[in-house]
Structure 1
Amino acid sequence: MDIAVTREALEGMERAAAEAHPREACGLLLGEGANVANFAQTANVHCRPETHFELDPQALIDAHRAARDGGPQVIGYFHSHPVGAAAPSATDRASAAGDGRIWAIWGEGELAFWRDDPAGFAALSYSVQER
């Protein structure tokens, strides 16, 4: 499956990963269906942010409220691996919900997208969309 991602969202994820290093960055992928229109960086509130991430719960609640009021939908999540590949780690696989959401992972200088399917993560290809 191919998804579309805006250049602005891609640049935001790359910037968030660089600014958070050596901690994990995280955030929300916003858009519709398989189109990532926006990236919203959130605080990583995990007690060990060097090796784990936890989205700020209030940011997630606020994004879902905005979506109910007609804003973009929360279609997935982003986080970085300061030391590691742009692929789901054992920790990622253990915490995945299998809900079909898109996960974007930054690691080793690259960004990769994954779908969190009930059977496990599936790699996604993507195209860059200009606004």
Structure 2
Amino acid sequence: MGIAISSTLLHRLLNEARASPGAEICGLLFGTSERIEAAEPTANVALDPARRFEIDPAALFAAHRAARICGPQMIGHYHSHPSGLPIPSARDAEAAMGDGAYWLILTGDEAGLWRSVAFGTFEPVALEQFCMG
């Protein structure tokens, strides 16, 4: 089973990753288990953004707060691997909470979607692009 994403949104995220070849980009994903409806960029506050990412805690807190008052549901996050593959890295595995969150990993040319299913463990999820009409 996959998750749907508009080709427009996916291309926007790939362009963001391509525009930042020296640092990982990151942001939050919103939607349902069937569809990624929106993605909001956040600041990468990691001490070494060229090699890792850390979503701005204020943005994360605001997203959780909005969801509690009937806002969009946060289903995961995205980040880039500027010189890597769109697969979880060892650092990603260290951060995986096993909470079912989606991890969209971008390279600028490719995207891979993963779901955190156990501490340090991911399962691949098919990305099903659709055109907005």
TM over 0.5: yes
Task: Give the match for residue 117 of structure 1.
Answer: 117
Instruction: Give the drift of 1:108.
Output: 6.3
Structure 1 residue 88: Cα displacement: 0.3
Equivalent residue, structure 2, for 1:76? 76
RMSD: 1.4
> Which range moves more in the overlay, 111-120 or 73-82?
111-120
Q: Which residue matches 2:128?
A: 127
TM-score, scaled relative to structure 2: 0.91
Give the equivalent residue in structure 1 for 2:30: 30
Structure 1 unmatched runs, 5+: none
Matches within 5 A, 1:1-131: 1-107=1-107, 109-118=109-118, 120-131=121-132
Provide the C-alpha distance between the structure 2 equivalents of 1:7 and 1:44, rounded to a whole number of angstroms. 24
Asked if structure 1 preserves the Cα contact closer than 8 Å seen for 2:18 and 2:108, the reply is: no
What stretches of structure 2 of length at least 5 have no aligned partner? Answer: none
| Identity across the alignment (%) | 40
Q: State the number of aligned residues.
A: 131
Shift >6 Å, 4+ stretches: none
Give the letter aligned to residue 68 of structure 2.
R
Deviation string 1:40-83 (CA, Å, 9 cap, x unpaired) is: 01110001000000001111111111212222111011000011
